[in-house]
Amino acid sequence: MRWLLIVLLSLLGVLLALLSIFGWVEGAMMLVIGIILWLIIAILIGRFANGKFFLHGFLTNLISTLLSSLLIYFFWDTYMANSTAMQERLTQGPEGINYRIITLATSPLVAGVYGAVLGLLSILGGKLFGVKKEETSAAEPPK
């Protein structure tokens, strides 16, 4: 396992959460940036993980989503002040529900589902961009 790779790539998702909290990215643009980040992360995992691609992708997204949810939880007021689309959605929902808690409570489920998606993309990234066995064995002397 390449834990440094997992942690560094998780920080890209945290960066996206920070952009969302401060209102710089919202709605469809966040989805587009998120998909682009997933593809970049899958390629980097495929290239540098050297095996266990699914697990690397799954853990990367798990850590990223959980940290992002914690950030949104702790900066909820800032997030709500800067996210007009989220404000509109939440005002249409039933009253008396603490959406801040719901966001935090559902984050493990969301992290698991999206982690599986990134894990599958990482397998594809490994097949397309991974180091081939011939390339790694070329540096070793013949036995």
20-72 pLDDT, tens digit each: 999 898 878 888 999 999 999 999 999 999 889 999 999 999 999 999 999 99
Residue 131 has pLDDT above 80, yes or no: no
Average pLDDT of every residue of the chain: 89
Q: Where are the domains of the chain?
A: 3-129
Task: State how far the Cα of 39 lies from the Cα of 21, in Å rounded to an integer.
Answer: 23
Q: What is the 3-state secondary structure (H, E, C) of the chain?
A: CCHHHHHHHHHHHHHHHHHHHCCCCCCHHHHHHHHHHHHHHHHHHHHHCCCCHHHHHHHHHHHHHHHHHHHHHHCHHHHHHHCHHHHHHHHHCCCCCCHHHHHHHHHHHHHHHHHHHHHHHHHHHHHHHCCCHHHHHCCCCCC
The pair phi, psi for residue 41, each rounded to 5°, is: -65, -40
Predicted TM-score (pTM) of the model is 0.84
